[in-house]
Structure 1
Amino acid sequence: MRLKPLFLLLSLFSVTTTAAPVALHNIQGYGFDENRQLVNFQTLVFDDESGQILARGAKELLAHYATAKQIDGQGKTLLPGLIDGHGHILGLGEYLKQADLRGIGSEQQSAAAVASFAKNNPEQQWLVGRGWNQVLWESKTFPGKTTLDEMVPDKPVYLVRVDAHAAWVNSKALALAGISKDTLDPPGGEIIRDANGEPTGVLIDNAMYLVQRKIPTPTEAEKRAALATAFQHLQALGITSVHDAGVNTELVKLYQQLQQEQQLGVRVYPMLSAKDPALESWFKAGIIDDASDWLDIRSVKIYGDGALGSRGAALLADYSDQPGQQGLLVTEPDALTEIMRLTINAGFQANVHAIGDRANRLVLDRFEQLSNLEALQQSRHRIEHAQIVSPQDIPRFKKLHILPAMQAVHATSDMNMAGDRLGVARLRGAYAWRTFVDQGSIIVGGSDFPVELANPFHGLHASVTRQDQQNQPVGGWLPEQRLSLVEALRSFTVDAAYGAFQEEKMGTLAPGSWADFILVDRDIFAIPPAELWQTTTLETWIHGQQRFKR
């Protein structure tokens, strides 16, 4: 691979400091320049007090910093700190302490895992878990309350599907929520029922809240503990910043407290939840532009439709494997228009969840109606996921300056059912990263953890190979949509930073930017792409301080 050389020009030394800097040398460093082009360097100089990069270059750079504290990188590979452009930090911390059903191969085995969790956690009044996926089961069908009742009859059980758009509950939970044959489906939700109209124990999208609201709210101490667990987990994976997708005022206030206490483990770009009752007060207060970029508050997460796996993604035509079903709009069209209008008029960034082609079109239509092209370019509004888009709508992202915030691992997770749900024709606009990049769209990369595992190297691998970790399918799924490794790395660094108005300070390791970087156990540009997911983070540095060391 040919990289743009980075010469030792005095013009690079644009940041000055009175303290002795740190010079990390003998590294295989990668970063980006002002044109988002990959550059290679062997020495990185930064100020561990201000947290800023001072210079980068060849080994001769050390001569210009004779008084610097020197650290020998021992030939390790150094990358910009990785940015997850769509995750759920508190959800991750809670997930790491709940019943984990990810990858379990049957309904019966999943219920048995919950029973085992109950036995090992007798203090839990509610049994909460996450990760079940009926697509992996031989039956391919939704589970039911009966299986859970047999295993856990005496405590309420609430199990979130892997995509977080469906819940599997037992009879105890249904009774506590007052859900019966006579309960009406809430707008934007569905209570799955049997032939007699009785609830089966599966709730889709907005119907989930009928039970969820009965679960005791975690205390502040419990939330702090969950966040601390999540921060440690993210640091160990090489993630230095997260765009937290959909947080309420209570959690934002907790983030602000943690920032004051210098206890934020990663940089956080919170998207205020469109459902938060205090949203308009945030609009009145205006954007919070944190000079240190630990906690910039200027965006809103708006909810469009559901997810593909639970057939909640809103489609223009019927699901191929369920005639008559076209998905769900979690927010009704008029309400969607109003919340987008309020967000745009307040000068905040609107980040709208849209997975199905109908939802994506509805959101694009509203951006076009509610703003002009100049304002759209400045506002960097986003569509979160943009998974299934009509081919005729993809160019509208570029025309309207809407950023697709996409999660590469969703494609390799969904490839075993997407064709069944959509049919062959609609796959032309599904998970279409190459098409977006070729038209000049900037992709904000991420994982959607804990829907997926948070490891960003899984996302880089999926972007480049379009395969799972067993190298399947041969040649990749929809391989024409693969990205190069440089493009994939951009999506998790400078392009993700662009999606948060932070590209001047994050994601490049250019002089003047924050010293957020990681050291990993292999040169990702010198290994077979199939091995990318195996990359391990050895050290994580944020703001010039080492936060993790393996």
Structure 2
Amino acid sequence: MPTFTVSCSVLVALLLTSAPHAAAAQPSAGMPQPPADLIVTNGRIYTADPARPLVDAFAVRGGRVVFTGSAREAKALAGPATTVVDADGRTVIPGMVDGHAHFSGLAQKLRSVDLVGTRSLDEVIARVVERARRTPKGTWIVGRGWDQNAWGHTAFPTHEALSAATPDHPVVLERVDGHAAYVNAAAMQRAGLTAATKDPSGGRIVRDTKGNPTGVLIDRASSLVERQVPPLSRQEMRAALRDAVARMHSLGLVGMHDAGASREQIELFADMAQQGELNLRVYVMIADDATALDHYFQVGPRSALYDGQLWVRAVKLYADGAMGSRGAALLEPYSDDPNNSGLLLSAPAHIEDVARRGLAAGFQVNTHAIGDRGNRVVLDAYEKALDARPTADHRFRVEHAQILHQDDIPRFAQLGVIPSMQASHQTSDMYWIGKRLGPTRLYGAYAWQSLLQTGVVIPNGSDFPVEEVNPLISFHASIARQDARDWPAGGWYPEQRLSREDALRSMTLWPAYAGFQEQLMGSITPGKYADFVVLDQDIMRIPADLVLRTRVLSTWLAGRLVYKTPH
């Protein structure tokens, strides 16, 4: 089992998540205590609290944990109105939090054509044609989830077959990673996209030998067409967000870090929270928009709004694109595209400027970086900003940190930067990533254990809707580095696997730390929100190949049941 070495600053912060609350909230001997509202007993309860990692029972009052320990002690807090939940020997864990995802993206995906899992271009087109039959002519059709790497080759499609099958509808289909779009002729016509259209900064129009657009748009070129699509109305988006929350609850998620929301979206989240419609702990990263950043930097950071449902104290930037579309910025060219080293979506000076402003305003700055050049650019920009304005406990983050040069791995801990990573990306990409990078660069790919050994923590996530919402997929990937079919035998670069204890922390306590929330959530600890999940299997002890068969039986937020599996 690999050991975990953690820096003193992180260790102190994580230990503080339990000790002060335990002293304040744990019942004192001989002192009468008001009855608990809820007692959970007869379970195998993994608390993720380093002070007491495994208990038999816990008690809740006013939406917060007030006691953890034995069933006998917990029952002493029962009163006439106390609800007692018998876990029947089941496994209980803290409510899981997705450390990097897209709330509105999931909501919109639930309303669009689902292309995840398609195994050919023909299957993609068939799903679109089925939607077209039920859609008035001239209306946009939007889909997401195609991946040419799953079609038996890595070549991008061209628009002809899609255009022929859907002549009466403009169609825009986002790639699974959200960093490329596939469009038909009608969509290009609506957008005025021709051979004369220039590539936008940070984007590329894929063209044929005559310079004509082929129908694939990389990174910021996608906006040339996507901005023509009418957005969902506020009420439509509100309903879609409620559906997204229900989906998250059914899979054991009580919160998520929204990696890039507009001011309009943030205000909708706030309105829903005020009206009691959100029922989710949303840590928002403000999208990179000059007007929005000016507004929020003036307002200042806000935390635990609406009884702990909304945090607005972080910014989301983009350094580069994605590996699947060959837009991630690399220090050396792609092994399977030697004339291409990827794209920088933001100038290094812009990242440094926002980082300086974020430090001055008290905001965390989180930047998408996937390629080794993208990651180096971000670390360099952060370093310059921190040299200009030295700040303790800033908790800046790099989102994804997928491909790292060996020289840059220790820099995260040295700078106090958190690598926010998504384990399911590794198991999705492992089939073809070697062709993109060649063998040498793979040693810095999805290097979780290498990073942990330097003293950082790694908040886990899914990047949904890029990957499936289910957080147990990332838990399984973390401990096995294998896909759902248990391939490859022994795991892909298995020395980078996480222990189960670290895997659990990566989806509970570490996202809380990465969001300045560790005093309120992330573990079943006295004083924290009573957010927890009941599972039908013990993911901490069963064979790894059974983890993905585990079901969520119930999900609880602040001691309230928000999901129960149908029987």
Which residue of structure 1 aligns with residue 465 of structure 2? 450
Give the counterpart of 1:280 among 282, 289, 294: 294
Question: Is residue 413 of structure 1 aligned with residue 448 of structure 2?
Answer: no
Give the counterpart of 1:13 among 26, 42, 45: 26
Name the aligned partner's letter for residue 39 of structure 2: A
Give the counterpart of 1:31 among 47, 53, 72: 47
1:17 Cα deviation from its structure 2 partner: 7.4
Question: Is residue 51 of structure 1 aligned with residue 66 of structure 2?
Answer: no
**Structure 2: 5+ residue runs without aligned partners?**
2-17
Question: Is residue 84 of structure 1 aligned with residue 101 of structure 2?
Answer: no
1:260-279 paired onto structure 2 within 5 Å: 260-275=274-289, 277-279=291-293
Name the aligned partner's letter for residue 376 of structure 2: R
Name the aligned partner's letter for residue 317 of structure 1: E
Which string of whole-angstrom CA distances, capped at 9 and with x for unpartnered residues, describes residues 28-71 of structure 1?
Answer: 111122xx466111111001xx2100101112213421424322
Which residue of structure 2 aligns with residue 483 of structure 1? 498
3-state SS of 2:426 partner: helix
Give the counterpart of 1:230 among 221, 244, 252: 244
1:120 Cα deviation from its structure 2 partner: 3.4
Change in CA separation of 1:325 and 1:53 when aligned onto 2, cut-off 3 Å: same
1:320-335 paired onto structure 2 within 5 Å: 320-335=335-350
Which string of whole-angstrom CA distances, capped at 9 and with x for unpartnered residues, describes residues 350-369 of structure 1?
Answer: 00000000010011011111
Name the aligned partner's letter for residue 482 of structure 2: Q
CA distance in 1, matches of 2:92, 2:119: 38
CA distance in 2, matches of 1:456, 1:369: 35
How many residue pairs are counted as aligned between the two chains? Answer: 542
CA distance in 1, matches of 2:89, 2:438: 48
Question: Is residue 549 of structure 1 aligned with residue 564 of structure 2?
Answer: yes
3-state SS of 2:132 partner: helix
- Kept in 2, the 8 Å contact 1:46–1:515? The answer is yes
- Kept in 2, the 8 Å contact 1:376–1:401? The answer is no
Moved more, 288-297 or 15-24: 15-24
TM-score, length-scaled by structure 2 = 0.92
Change in CA separation of 1:66 and 1:154 when aligned onto 2, cut-off 3 Å: closer
- Kept in 2, the 8 Å contact 1:315–1:327? The answer is yes
Name the aligned partner's letter for residue 220 of structure 2: N
**Structure 1: 5+ residue runs without aligned partners?**
none
Which residue of structure 1 aligns with residue 116 of structure 2? 102
Which residue of structure 1 aligns with residue 88 of structure 2? 74
- Kept in 2, the 8 Å contact 1:104–1:132? The answer is yes
Which residue of structure 1 aligns with residue 11 of structure 2? none
CA distance in 1, matches of 2:439, 2:386: 35
Which residue of structure 2 aligns with residue 259 of structure 1? 273
- Kept in 1, the 8 Å contact 2:478–2:498? The answer is yes
Which residue of structure 2 aligns with residue 61 of structure 1? 73
Change in CA separation of 1:410 and 1:38 when aligned onto 2, cut-off 3 Å: farther
CA distance in 2, matches of 1:37, 1:486: 13
CA distance in 1, matches of 2:296, 2:532: 32
CA distance in 1, matches of 2:262, 2:463: 17
3-state SS of 1:210 partner: helix
| Identity %, equivalent residues | 43
Give the counterpart of 1:93 among 79, 82, 107: 107
Change in CA separation of 1:185 and 1:10 when aligned onto 2, cut-off 3 Å: closer
Change in CA separation of 1:127 and 1:21 when aligned onto 2, cut-off 3 Å: same
- Kept in 1, the 8 Å contact 2:33–2:77? The answer is no
Name the aligned partner's letter for residue 266 of structure 1: L
3-state SS of 2:119 partner: coil
RMSD: 2.1
1:94 Cα deviation from its structure 2 partner: 1.3
Give the counterpart of 2:444 among 418, 424, 429: 429
Give the counterpart of 1:116 among 130, 140, 146: 130
- Kept in 2, the 8 Å contact 1:14–1:511? The answer is no
Question: Is residue 200 of structure 1 aligned with residue 214 of structure 2?
Answer: yes
- Kept in 1, the 8 Å contact 2:531–2:559? The answer is yes
- Kept in 2, the 8 Å contact 1:377–1:400? The answer is no
- Kept in 2, the 8 Å contact 1:457–1:534? The answer is no
Give the counterpart of 1:167 among 181, 185, 188: 181
